[in-house]
Amino acid sequence: MATIHVDGQSYEVNGADNLLQACLSLGLDIPYFCWHPAMGSVGACRQCAVRQYKDSEDDRGMLVMSCMTPAADGTRIDIEDEEARAFRASVVEWLMINHPHDCPVCEEGGHCHLQDMTVMTGHDRRRYRFRKRTRRNQYLGPFIAHEMNRCITCYRCVRFYNDYAGGTDLGAFGSKDNVYFGRHQEGTLESRFAGNLTEVCPTGVFTDQSHSDHYTRKWDLQFAPGICHQCAVGCNISPGERYGEIRRIENRYHGEVNGFFLCDLGRFGYGYVNRQDRPRVPEFRSGKECEQGGEQKREPAQEPEQLGVDTALARITETLRHARRVIGIGSPRASLESNHQLRELVGEANFSTGINENEQTCLDLMDEQGRSCGLSAPTLRDVEGHDAVLLLGEDPMESAARLGLSIRQAITSPPAEYAARLGIPRWHADAMKTLAQDHRQPLFIAYPAETKLDTLARSRLALAPEDIARLGFAVAHAIDPTAPDVPDLDATLRSRASEIARALLAAERPLVVSGGALNSPAIIRAVGNIARALARRAKRGGLLFVRREVNSTGLALLGGQPLEWALDQLVDGNADAAVILENDLYQRLPEAPVDAALARVEALVVLDHQRTPTLNRATFSLPAASFAEGDGTLVNLEGRAQRFFQVFEPGYLRPEARIHESWRWLHGLSAKLNGEIPGDITLDQVTLACSRACADLALITAAAPDAGFRIEGLRLAREPHRYSGRTSMRADQSVSEPRVPQDPDTALAFSMEGYSGFRHPHQQVPFAWAPGWNSPQAWNKFTDEVGGHLRGGDPGIRILNPRPGHYHYEGDIPAAYQPSGTDYRAMVLPRLFGGEETSALVDPIRRRMETPVLLLSEADATSLGAELGGLVTVTGEQACVTLPARVQADWPRGLVGLPAGSVPMGIADGPVTLTAGPGSTPTPGEEVRP
């Protein structure tokens, strides 16, 4: 700690900070542009000038940039110094010289840092009377709109895009007062973190194109604390709604998980909420599967009949009551509450997780290894502090991109002690960058395909899953000789293993990251051995497993039978009814067995918020809430239970809509089935019941404050206090304004009335706003120190922690992979854009998807006679697909890599054969989507 003196007052601050950080953390306002809490100081904009005095004797002092001056003990500064104020006014005046006066039509207006800073410095008269510079804009793809005339040349965009996120296709061009930030030519920004430019840019140069397509000012949006549902990281988001549509997703600061940044899938993948074809009312389909001549047939499709809520509940209850046995199929993309309520409805013996067997085996193994091997799972902030990383059989840039960004930070930051020796503070961004050129932390990657982290890796090994596992076992053995050795390991892998082991041992905090990308239990066991070996060597290491979906971790804890078991029960006639929760079975298993099982079901009830092929086969379908219309609890990959909150009430603007949380529907069914009157239930009741039903989930009630939470007697306002048009936005339907929707489930109000301040610490912040701070920079008002933790505590609660004392090594080491020579093994590899079910329904994501290709080794491509980019057909037992071939120099022989989301299920279940050219028998999976 250090004592600094600001405008005559003394304060205790963190002496490792710079003055700007320190003052902002104290709640003192100094205007700034180029500084960013996550990106440090570069001293470019000169906006944060203050007067610094040498000591208490010095009464003249000199102007310094607070961002470039250490907050050393005894520092004396004046922020309100006359000359400093005048200079800060000059800086804004310069920045505004070429800035257009287009605030009324600018999409940044209302959450613009430049507006805030201009007001803060008091600049309101233009003295510059000459011509303004103008620029051309570029097309930068479906996510980002570009308006270079607004640029104030703070360099934040390129610093984030290139230095922080590792992008290569956004640059600063030109010099003097004509610096252009863009691509060398028009085209889609290649980085998967480009969306952060919209928040990093202090003004409207980079704005959200998806928001632009249905634009609403920040103050007119309704927000709630949300959790991104597009992968297992569980980034905190702030979705904004207007007229019953999600209009944009902005980052919601979380000190441990996502910090200031999201990936583009999370930011732009929300459009499925707004799809016109969403089920909005309960439906009944009389068409029924029947058997004719031993073949599955379906009666001619009928238009589904729409049902009222009571009718639907009554008829479904009636049907279920008559069923011999009802199977419940849950979903890792649904909340714990919904899954729990389904289990309550059908009984534990009849509940399936809805996850296929292989994936569930992997998930259970991850859970077991994670708890028994002695290393805890780091948060994303922790990840950034690790000084060696081993990535074994996982590609976080595709499967959990935000994690990939954190790993990048861990690798690119130079060793702290070396920087300290040179007297370079952590926040001195450019000096750290210069130093980091030759001082990267070691990163090792074992993964068959190329990854976006390869350029940072000390070495990358393209191996088949068995060999990745063997490498992992060998690393464990090299770290701790009592770990089992790998028989017949070839010399190259052995030397690589010992190189990796040396680097992990040399590190203070080694991190091992793996996951289910390759569906290989052996890899997960091998990773467990490495973690145990490191724990035995008393390393402050970390172990992180990437799960596929938003609630995979939570559902594995809740438990249940795998999906195959459920289908078997149906096919074997052990059950004749099924209730499927937010799950499209066709996304999990091949079409034929799903068809066969569903054909045997007498009554199929499907709850979902999307019109999936599974829902289209339902006898009864119930419209479920998406993350935007419902509340629930999820567990992310580090084992953090987090609550997401309803953003808007779907019935307010669409009175005909009957969308409810699945747990609410399922409770209604349970109650009716038990002969009770289905009174309403609240989220807190379900969460509590769920926490009691499962010991591992006992803590989830603490994931967020309950519905009784109040600040100064007030609920939390979902709407900013300037929210306009509430009385008129339904006027096209009825001129009388209905009562605002009530929220029995949470402490938030569908209103601008309520608490929306920052002074009272609170954990669940729907949107960040503070007087004078309208942009995302307002988060600094909610944190204990800038870039630190929310003063009310970072949201969520860790429910998974390692149990001490289980150090027995796994010994089931697979044999090395041998290509068969005739057959191939298909591997479906995760893909950020298009690889995830719900976001793949979204237009901008579909436009951002890369053309699907299949990956082959050069030798295999040659022996097949496949031309570069020519079509190759992959034929498996249950499915086949034709895709253009791409040769990757080090791709393992005998494997073929396929992109998730563009290939039929089941293609990777057994050996496949490859033929050059298009397939002869077209199948549904053959369709090549753009």
Partner 1 sequence: MNSQRQSPLYRSRLLQPGADRSPDTHPLTWRLRDDGQVVGLKEYESKEGYRAVSQVLNGHDPGAVIAAMKEANVRGRGGAGFSAGLKWSLTLQGDDIPRGYIVCNADEMEPGTFKDRLLMEQQPHLLIEGMILAAFANNARYGYIFLRGEYVESARVLTAALAEAREAGWLGPDIAGSSFDFDIALHTGAGRYICGEETALLNSLEGHRANPRAKPPFPGQSGAWGKPTVVNNVETLCNVPAVMLRGAEWYQGLSGDRTDDGGTKLYGASGLVNRPGLWELPIGTTGRELLELAGGLREGRKLKAWLPGGASTGFLLPEHLDLPLDFDTVGKEGSRLGTGLITVVTEDQSMVALMRNLEEFFARESCGWCTPCRDGLPWTVKLLLALERGEGEAGDVELLDKLAADCGPGLTFCAHAPGAAMPLQTALRHFRREFEQGVRYPRGKAHADPIPAGGV
> Closest CB to partner 1 among 100 and 484?
100
> Closest CB to partner 1 among 120 and 435?
435
> Closest CB to partner 1 among 64 and 453?
64
CB of 260 to partner 1, least distance (A): 23
> Closest CB to partner 1 among 95 and 457?
95
Helix (H, G, I), strand (E, B) or coil at 914: strand
323 binds partner 1 (CB under 8 A): no
808 binds partner 1 (CB under 8 A): no
Subset of 409-448 contacting partner 1 (CB under 8 A):
414, 422-424, 428, 430-431, 434-439
CB of 114 to partner 1, least distance (A): 13
CB of 132 to partner 1, least distance (A): 8
Subset of 438-497 contacting partner 1 (CB under 8 A):
438-439
Separation CA 695–CA 223 (nearest Å): 33
CB of 93 to partner 1, least distance (A): 9
Q: Which amino acid is at 709?
A: F
Subset of 13-52 contacting partner 1 (CB under 8 A):
42-47, 49
> Closest CB to partner 1 among 44 and 615?
44
CB of 183 to partner 1, least distance (A): 16
CB of 423 to partner 1, least distance (A): 6
Please say whether the beta carbons of 848 and 918 come within 8 A.
Answer: no
> Closest CB to partner 1 among 18 and 764?
18
> Closest CB to partner 1 among 431 and 512?
431
Q: What is the DSSP string of 337-403?
A: HHHHHHHHHH-GGGEE-S--HHHHHHHHHHHHHHHHSS-BPPPHHHHHT-SEEEEES--HHHHSHHH
**Run of H or E including 613:** helix 613-616
Separation CA 596–CA 576 (nearest Å): 13
> Closest CB to partner 1 among 201 and 391?
201
Residues 6+ apart with CB under 8 A from 822: 913
Indicate which single residue of 153, 441, 614, 873 sits in contact with partner 1 (rule: CB under 8 A). 153
Subset of 73-102 contacting partner 1 (CB under 8 A):
87, 90-91, 94-95, 97-98
CB of 96 to partner 1, least distance (A): 9
Residues 6+ apart with CB under 8 A from 833: 192, 264, 265, 839, 845, 848, 849, 850
CB of 29 to partner 1, least distance (A): 19
Indicate which single residue of 10, 56, 104, 131 sits in contact with partner 1 (rule: CB under 8 A). 131
CB of 128 to partner 1, least distance (A): 6
> Closest CB to partner 1 among 433 and 548?
433
148 binds partner 1 (CB under 8 A): no
> Closest CB to partner 1 among 280 and 440?
440
Separation CA 254–CA 793 (nearest Å): 9
CB of 3 to partner 1, least distance (A): 23
Q: What is the DSSP string of 856-908?
A: E-HHHHHHHTPPTT-EEEEE-SS-EEEEEEEE-TTPPTTEEEEETTSS-TTTT
Q: Which two tokens stand for residue 781?
A: 């008002």
* Residue 43, CA atoms < 13 Å, CB-side half-sphere: 14
| Size of residue set near partner 1 by CB under 8 A | 45
Pairing of strands 226-227, 236-242: antiparallel
176 binds partner 1 (CB under 8 A): yes
Indicate which single residue of 60, 101, 127, 739 sits in contact with partner 1 (rule: CB under 8 A). 127
Radius of gyration of the chain (CA): 28
Q: Which two tokens stand for residue 461?
A: 């090994």
Indicate which single residue of 32, 155, 206, 663 sits in contact with partner 1 (rule: CB under 8 A). 155
> Closest CB to partner 1 among 422 and 695?
422
Residue that has been written with the tokens 């632009």 in this structure: 212
Residues 6+ apart with CB under 8 A from 633: 335, 336, 337, 554, 641, 642, 643, 644, 687, 690, 700, 703, 704
Beta bridge partners of 882: 873
> Closest CB to partner 1 among 84 and 524?
84
Subset of 603-662 contacting partner 1 (CB under 8 A):
none
> Closest CB to partner 1 among 115 and 451?
115
Give the Å distances, CA to CA, from 275 to 21, 607, 654, 733, 837: 43, 17, 14, 21, 14
Separation CA 764–CA 223 (nearest Å): 11
Separation CA 893–CA 855 (nearest Å): 10
Separation CA 923–CA 696 (nearest Å): 43
Indicate which single residue of 177, 680, 850, 927 sits in contact with partner 1 (rule: CB under 8 A). 177
CB of 434 to partner 1, least distance (A): 5
Q: Could you give the angle at the alpha carbon of 512 between the alpha carbons of 484 and 516, nearest 5°?
A: 90
300 binds partner 1 (CB under 8 A): no
Separation CA 559–CA 353 (nearest Å): 7
**Run of H or E including 249:** strand 245-251
Q: Which two tokens stand for residue 173?
A: 């061009």
Helix (H, G, I), strand (E, B) or coil at 660: strand
Separation CA 687–CA 673 (nearest Å): 21
- The gap from C-alpha 331 to its chain's centroid, in whole angstroms, comes to 18
CB of 89 to partner 1, least distance (A): 10
> Closest CB to partner 1 among 38 and 97?
97
> Closest CB to partner 1 among 431 and 797?
431
> Closest CB to partner 1 among 129 and 739?
129
CB under 8 A: which stretch of 121-129, 203-211, 721-729, 860-868 binds partner 1?
Answer: 121-129
CB under 8 A: which stretch of 60-68, 466-474, 796-804, 903-911 binds partner 1?
Answer: 60-68
Q: Which two tokens stand for residue 92?
A: 């804004």
CB of 202 to partner 1, least distance (A): 13
130 binds partner 1 (CB under 8 A): yes
CB of 4 to partner 1, least distance (A): 20
Please say whether the beta carbons of 624 and 665 come within 8 A.
Answer: yes
> Closest CB to partner 1 among 26 and 63?
63
Indicate which single residue of 128, 324, 910, 920 sits in contact with partner 1 (rule: CB under 8 A). 128
CB of 788 to partner 1, least distance (A): 24
CB of 436 to partner 1, least distance (A): 8
CB of 65 to partner 1, least distance (A): 9
> Closest CB to partner 1 among 136 and 321?
136
Instruction: Convert residues 731-750 into a mask of x (bound to partner 1 by CB under 8 A) and - (unbound).
Output: --------------------
Indicate which single residue of 8, 104, 174, 804 sits in contact with partner 1 (rule: CB under 8 A). 174
Q: Which two tokens stand for residue 514?
A: 């793996």
CB of 176 to partner 1, least distance (A): 5
Give the Å distances, CA to CA, from 27 to 8, 92, 263: 16, 21, 29
Residues 6+ apart with CB under 8 A from 104: none
Binding site for partner 1 (CB under 8 A): 42-47, 49, 62-64, 68, 87, 90-91, 94-95, 97-98, 127-131, 153, 155, 172, 174-179, 414, 422-424, 428, 430-431, 434-439
